[in-house]
Chains A and B, each alone.
Chain A
């Protein structure tokens, strides 16, 4: 257990510089977004008001006021979210391959450790998952601050409404994707995320075990895992069997747990018995 935790910590420390940069980029870009976009929206409004000689009230009835949804849809706001997502997806692969291709083939030392190979596998998975959740937590922390800054910068006459964090998240497709509305949906979404990560890890293990042939094996494995997980959806789409909504979700959860279990078992088995340095 201690060795597993040490390994998790080790993996997080190894990524900490990039990770901190991601957090910082998100913070700076989103706050800049709030300030820049608010200013330009207000400037545009004032310009139109002076050109068409409208009073504030008349402008609001004709063009509508502004609210935080205008901010949340901009590149400055959503860009860092996309960047972080891409970086972590990329790191799912890099977390393994850097050990092989980095300076002085680190995997050699890692595999020589007197610890079970399963903990190596799990520590890498945990590190990535924890960092993903960390980014989500970061967004949840800074969103109310950005919202408060926005509310303070917009004159009351132009403000459609003061939105709550939950309201902003509900209205923005990207935010709603990374922070689902209910806790159950949160567990389901990130459960699927875990499963996909386990499948990818196992595909990587196939490649590391059998090289070129392993790439094909890995792809085949991804296909089989996806097909197994989605069996009830296919059954319903082709009218073979109709599931009530609750049953469908229940079956998907059960299959998801099975697929994740098989992936972890197969991945760590390959790591133990087949992977070569």
Chain B
């Protein structure tokens, strides 16, 4: 026995030390505090589809966490295999679960179109050849849900010599033709730059690009800048007649600062049915800056805009066809300076989450608990109101206790 002493000691030390270490690591995660929403008003049922991503500030590092259906889960509690997937958009997660084989290798929710019969996908695959030229092609895929029939093919991107890059921002299926809306940067030799928005129509039966329409093109030079963006689509995969995009113009000053030119910036809408492009205007007397508008939420008919100019938060509805503010609802949520808000619109409700004071005036980090308000989009009536409470056995042990909101999602 004595002869084996060396090996036995090493064996025991290995098992005991590594074993205890990992047991301790695993159990320390359960010592983290749990955040839940305490109901102040309304029905707790409204919380079920709400997913909030945030982090708990525990010295010396942040622990990422997710509150889903009012249940806190820390990323560090997840098993290795669960954490492999990373943080995922709820809609992408659902599509991957339902159509695992079709979704293989596909990403970006804006590249999808879904109705009861079809799931369509379009993206642009850009490759650079050795002599620096771009070779781009469309990757198109269509899933017929009933028969579970998958078709996929690639098509050459028309007129690609001109383009520097192509971004798919919306996909629609109109009269069994795939409509792919892209934003592009255009190649040029001089100091001019051009931004374009293209609409490609793809014939799925004959696997051909049948049209390439330039919806918008703006050339600028020097220090000017043009950005094309989209207000958030409430249901990016669903059938929509109308798509909105904001064109923001500005100038980069010599000293490195950027100044927007609000008078030249605009909001445009395109109607897939009527194939018409329109300039969206709204009454000037409404205190709605373009900045607010482009952070709005569109559902194809209306644009919903969160307004925090008055004492309480407001949600304004702009009807896109009549270009009027049809509703201005005051919500039961007070506006505080320095407070970040996170908003989303889904299922006919608006979800407003007030984050913490990240940069309070007097550097006084007495953070207020985040507040969540769920209100009906039509009436503005509060469906749920609540604020986070902390449940922790070792609350006092952590020096700097704080919960920071990163974003809110609704299933």
B84–A167 touching, CB < 8 Å: no
Contacts of B81 in A (CB 8 A): 184, 246, 249
**What's the Cα separation between A137 and B21 when bound, in Å?**
9
Q: Does B176 lie at the interface of the complex (its beta carbon under 8 Å from any beta carbon of A)?
A: no
Contacts of A130 in B (CB 8 A): 7, 10-11, 14
Which of these, B4, B28, B86, B96, contacts A166 with CB under 8 Å?
B28
Q: Does A148 lie at the interface of the complex (its beta carbon under 8 Å from any beta carbon of B)?
A: no
Contact mask for chain B residues 236-274; partner A; CB cutoff 8 A; 1 contact, 0 none: 000000000000000000000000000000000000000
**Chain A residue at minimum C-beta to C-beta distance from B84:** A245
Contacts of B348 in A (CB 8 A): none
**Chain B residue at minimum C-beta to C-beta distance from A132:** B14
Contact mask for chain B residues 55-79; partner A; CB cutoff 8 A; 1 contact, 0 none: 0000111000000000000000001
**Chain A residue at minimum C-beta to C-beta distance from B104:** A242
Q: Does A5 lie at the interface of the complex (its beta carbon under 8 Å from any beta carbon of B)?
A: yes
Contacts of A164 in B (CB 8 A): 28
Contact mask for chain B residues 72-102; partner A; CB cutoff 8 A; 1 contact, 0 none: 0000000111001110000000001000100
Q: Does B205 lie at the interface of the complex (its beta carbon under 8 Å from any beta carbon of A)?
A: no
Q: Give the residues from 12 to 33 in chain B that come closer than 8 angstroms, CB to CB, to chain A.
A: 13-14, 16-18, 21-22, 24-26, 28
Contacts of B4 in A (CB 8 A): 5, 9
- Tell me how many residues of B have a C-beta within 8 Å of chain A: 31
Contacts of B59 in A (CB 8 A): 161
Q: Does B45 lie at the interface of the complex (its beta carbon under 8 Å from any beta carbon of A)?
A: no
**What's the Cα separation between A130 and B12 when bound, in Å?**
11
**What's the Cα separation between A39 and B14 when bound, in Å?**
33
Contacts of A171 in B (CB 8 A): 60-61
B18–A140 touching, CB < 8 Å: yes
Q: Give the residues from 113 to 165 in chain A that come closer than 8 angstroms, CB to CB, to chain B.
A: 130-131, 133-134, 136-138, 140-141, 160-161, 163-165
Given contacts A161-B59, A182-B80, A246-B85, contact A9 B14 (CB under 8 A): no
Contacts of A179 in B (CB 8 A): 21
Contact mask for chain A residues 2-22; partner B; CB cutoff 8 A; 1 contact, 0 none: 000100110011001000000
**What's the Cα separation between A238 and B96 when bound, in Å?**
22
Which of these, B11, B14, B79, B86, contacts A184 with CB under 8 Å?
B79
Q: Does A181 lie at the interface of the complex (its beta carbon under 8 Å from any beta carbon of B)?
A: yes
Q: Give the residues from 295 to 310 in chain B that come closer than 8 angstroms, CB to CB, to chain A.
A: none
B191, chain A: closest CB distance, angstroms: 36
Contacts of B18 in A (CB 8 A): 133, 136-137, 140, 186
Contacts of B21 in A (CB 8 A): 140, 165, 179
Contacts of B105 in A (CB 8 A): 239, 242
B17–A137 touching, CB < 8 Å: yes
**What's the Cα separation between A181 and B26 when bound, in Å?**
10
Q: Does B3 lie at the interface of the complex (its beta carbon under 8 Å from any beta carbon of A)?
A: yes
A58, chain B: closest CB distance, angstroms: 16
Contact mask for chain B residues 143-154; partner A; CB cutoff 8 A; 1 contact, 0 none: 000000000000
**What's the Cα separation between A134 and B85 when bound, in Å?**
33
B61–A167 touching, CB < 8 Å: yes
Contacts of B84 in A (CB 8 A): 245-246, 249
Q: Does A185 lie at the interface of the complex (its beta carbon under 8 Å from any beta carbon of B)?
A: yes
Interface of A is mostly: helix
A164, chain B: closest CB distance, angstroms: 8
- Tell me how many residues of A have a C-beta within 8 Å of chain B: 39
A131–B10 touching, CB < 8 Å: yes
B7–A183 touching, CB < 8 Å: no
**What's the Cα separation between A249 and B81 when bound, in Å?**
8
Contacts of B17 in A (CB 8 A): 137-138, 140-141
A13–B79 touching, CB < 8 Å: no
**Interface-central residue, A140, A165, A246, by most chain B CB under 10 Å:** A140
A170–B61 touching, CB < 8 Å: yes
B3–A9 touching, CB < 8 Å: yes
**What's the Cα separation between A182 and B399 when bound, in Å?**
25
Q: Does A244 lie at the interface of the complex (its beta carbon under 8 Å from any beta carbon of B)?
A: yes
B335, chain A: closest CB distance, angstroms: 33
**What's the Cα separation between A122 and B13 when bound, in Å?**
21
**What's the Cα separation between A138 and B17 when bound, in Å?**
8
Contacts of A9 in B (CB 8 A): 3-4, 6-7
A202, chain B: closest CB distance, angstroms: 25
**Chain B residue at minimum C-beta to C-beta distance from A245:** B84
Given contacts A182-B80, A183-B26, A242-B104, contact A163 B10 (CB under 8 A): no
B13–A137 touching, CB < 8 Å: yes
B60–A182 touching, CB < 8 Å: no
A216, chain B: closest CB distance, angstroms: 33
**What's the Cα separation between A165 and B25 when bound, in Å?**
9
Contacts of B25 in A (CB 8 A): 166, 181-183
**Chain A residue at minimum C-beta to C-beta distance from B26:** A183
Contacts of A166 in B (CB 8 A): 24-25, 28
In the A-B complex, the 4 residue pairs with the smallest Cβ-Cβ separation, listed nearest first, are: A242-B105, A184-B80, A245-B84, A137-B17
12 A/B residue pairs, CB under 8 Å, sorted by A? A5-B4, A130-B10, A130-B14, A133-B14, A140-B17, A141-B13, A167-B61, A244-B85, A244-B104, A245-B85, A246-B81, A246-B84
Could you list 9 further interchain pairs (A-B, Cβ under 8 angstroms) beyond the known A137-B14, A182-B26, A245-B84? A8-B7, A134-B14, A136-B18, A137-B13, A137-B18, A166-B28, A183-B25, A239-B105, A246-B84
Interface residues, chain B, with chain A CB atoms under 8 Å away: 3-4, 6-7, 10-11, 13-14, 16-18, 21-22, 24-26, 28, 59-61, 79-81, 84-86, 96, 100, 104-105, 399
